Amino acid sequence: MRFRGLLAAVAVLAVLGGLSYWSEKKKKADEGKPAADAPPKILSVPEDQVKEIRVKKAGETTVVKKSDAGKWQITEPKPLPADQDSVSSVVSALTSLSSDRLVEDKAANLAEYGLTTPAVEVVLTKKDGKTEKLLLGEETPTGGGVFAKLENDPRVFTVASYVKSSLDKSSQDLRDRRLLTFDSDKLTRVELQAKGQAIEFGKNNQNEWQILKPGPMRADGSQVEDLVRRLRDAKMETAITPEDAKKAASGFASGARVAMANVADAGGSQQIEVRKDKEKNYYAKSTVVEGIYKIPSDVGEGLDKGLADFRNKKLFDFGWNDPSKLEVRPASGAATTYQKSGEKWMSGSKEMDSASIQAVIDKLRDLSAAKFVETGGGTPVLDVSVTSNNSKRVEKVSITKQDAAYLAKRENEPSIYEVDGKNVEELQKAINEIKASEPAKNEKK
């Protein structure tokens, strides 16, 4: 009896195991399949197989083709550089196109859906030469959708209105609207003529922006990067009518020049000129595209800057890098050196209070010029040397006092910085408050 019971139990387990196996196998087989009630797919084409997109609407045909190098180019109604992201959005919307619902399996009267004379026709050509033509007709009576079908498919579907919006594009919508097409990461030189000054920027061996002309000067990297961003953001408006073009040309011709900029990357040099009319509208002309275009005012304002706007006003460049060595020499005393060892600050063999050293570093980090002056001199006040960046950067600054003004000069640089007296006095106070580390107090047991 026990043996028979054991056989029965084994049989039950085998059945359950088999059911579990087939259930798991069916689950895996069903993975990736659409739900039974899912709307039918209209198109499914791998994006990398698309070679050409043709959009026809209201008597205008726009054609974009992919070059051998993999870049999209507008070829009709006239050759134009294409905005790669905009074209990719069209391709993405078209190659994976789902319906909202199936209206008819075999539509007898396409006219009632606006599909005999579609509002938009989109033809997709694949690398193998085969094509798919999508027809988009009238909006659905309830709104929010559009009737659609493939030319060689008898079925009629509805698709969301945003699908039509994403495909209903003209050459003006898909063109590259940038007036300068340089590669920001590969810029080697930027020149700016504004406010009656000519400034040239270049990068040093540490890939930091420097002012090369009118003379070697430290540049405020964030200001130069902002200039580069403004140049990159100089774009024409999306829709440009003949009237717009005429108005832009007139505004540019009568406007006052704001700036002229040149940029150079591995691909060569590009130039843009920006002018402003009496109504404070900004217009630009570049060597990259034909024509004159209205541009956003923030771009024009961002180029209307002079040399002082781009100079680095900070006395020290160590920024948020923690210095490893600090040397201070007051005018009335000997130099004192503080060296970092691990997490400790040392002066010779004496451990120093880290908080008091950090207070001095913070004051040095914030020390900046209120303005630049032509001549220096005066009574010595303080010499400071800061070593940072794994001992690769050593910065030395001398501060003097001339009448009521505090003047600072970096070693081996001609620039003279006028510094706010209050900041210098606070720095001196912080230096005077540097102290030795107090020994830890024994805890009472």
Q: Which two structure tokens, joined as six digits, stand for 213?
A: 């002309």
Residues 277-308 pLDDT 10s: 999 999 999 999 989 999 999 999 999 999 99
How far apart CA 345 and CA 335 sit, in angstroms, is 16
Cis? peptide before 214, omega within 30° of 0: yes
Distance of CA 141 to the CA centre of its chain: 42
84-134 confidence digits (pLDDT tens):
999 999 999 999 999 999 999 998 899 999 999 999 999 999 999 999 999
The residue among 443 and 255 whose pLDDT is bigger is 255
Q: What end-to-end distance do the CA atoms of the chain give, in Å?
A: 76
pLDDT digits (tens, 9 = 90+) for 234-266: 998 766 778 888 999 999 999 999 999 999 998
Q: Is pLDDT at 203 greater than 80 in this prediction? A: yes
Q: Tokens 């102290």 appear where?
A: 435
Burial tier of 126 (Cβ tally within 10 Å: 0-12, 13-18, 19+): middle
